């Protein structure tokens, strides 16, 4: 028994570790990984299906601010990532491909108010580039 323990100890000392030194090193993210949702305002029809199917009630359809109404859908899905379980049902049901799951998993926060994903004005700036 003792010999076996010593053998395993020596083996582990020379073998490659299973973990990586994150964040300086990272493992590839799988192709179908489900991270933070990305919303494409140009494709959204405000149908609300994503909100209806969400099992965690993480999506609320809200009015776009008046200054963005010309370029954005009437109502857009506001997602609370604090409630989201990343099941991907909202992406699956979206008829226009407006809502897709990205590979972004850097979502930890100490401030619960930052978990609500409001695309204004961040994505307006991105669209203008
Ligand atoms: S991934 Fe699932 S839990 Fe998260 S917002 Fe979409 S439907 Fe809701
Ligand atoms: S299901 Fe798609 S098109 Fe419909 S409101 Fe949600 S994001 Fe917009």
Residue 54 maps to which CATH number? Answer: 3.30.70.3270
Which regions of the chain does DSSP assign to beta strands (E)? 37-39, 59-63, 75-80, 99-101, 116-117
Asked if residue 37 is part of any domain, the answer here is yes
The predicted-structure confidence for 41-98, as pLDDT tens digits, reads as follows 889 999 999 999 999 999 999 988 777 777 776 888 999 999 999 999 999 999 999 9
Number of domains the chain is built from: 1
The residue whose CA has the least distance to atom 8 of ligand 1 is 54
Query: Could you tell me the residue range of the domain that residue 81 belongs to?
Result: 28-128
Question: Ligand 1: does its nearest atom lie under 6 Å from the Cβ of 78?
Answer: no
Alpha helix (H) residue ranges in 1-129: 2-14, 49-53, 89-93, 122-128
The predicted structure's pLDDT at residue 7? 92
Task: Write phi, then psi, for 78 (nearest 5 degrees).
Answer: -95, 120
Q: How close is the Cα of 120 to the center of ligand 2, in Å?
A: 17
6 belongs to a structural domain: no
Asked whether residue 101 is domain-assigned, the answer is yes
Q: Which of 5, 11, 122, 7 is nearest to 68 (CA)?
A: 122
In a domain, 124, yes or no: yes
């Amino acid at each position: 028994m003792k010999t076996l323990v010593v053998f395993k100890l020596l083996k582990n000392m020379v073998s490659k570790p299973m973990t990586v030194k994150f964040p300086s090193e990272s493992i590839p993210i799988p192709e179908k990984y489900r991270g933070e949702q990305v919303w494409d305002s140009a494709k959204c029809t405000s149908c609300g299906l994503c909100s209806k199917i969400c099992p965690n009630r993480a999506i609320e359809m809200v009015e776009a601010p008046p200054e963005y109404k010309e370029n954005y859908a009437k109502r857009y899905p506001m997602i609370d990532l604090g409630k989201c379980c990343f099941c991907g049902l909202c992406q699956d049901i979206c008829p226009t491909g407006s809502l897709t799951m990205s590979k972004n998993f850097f979502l930890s926060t100490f401030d619960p108010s930052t978990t609500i994903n409001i695309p204004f004005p961040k994505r307006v700036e991105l669209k203008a580039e």
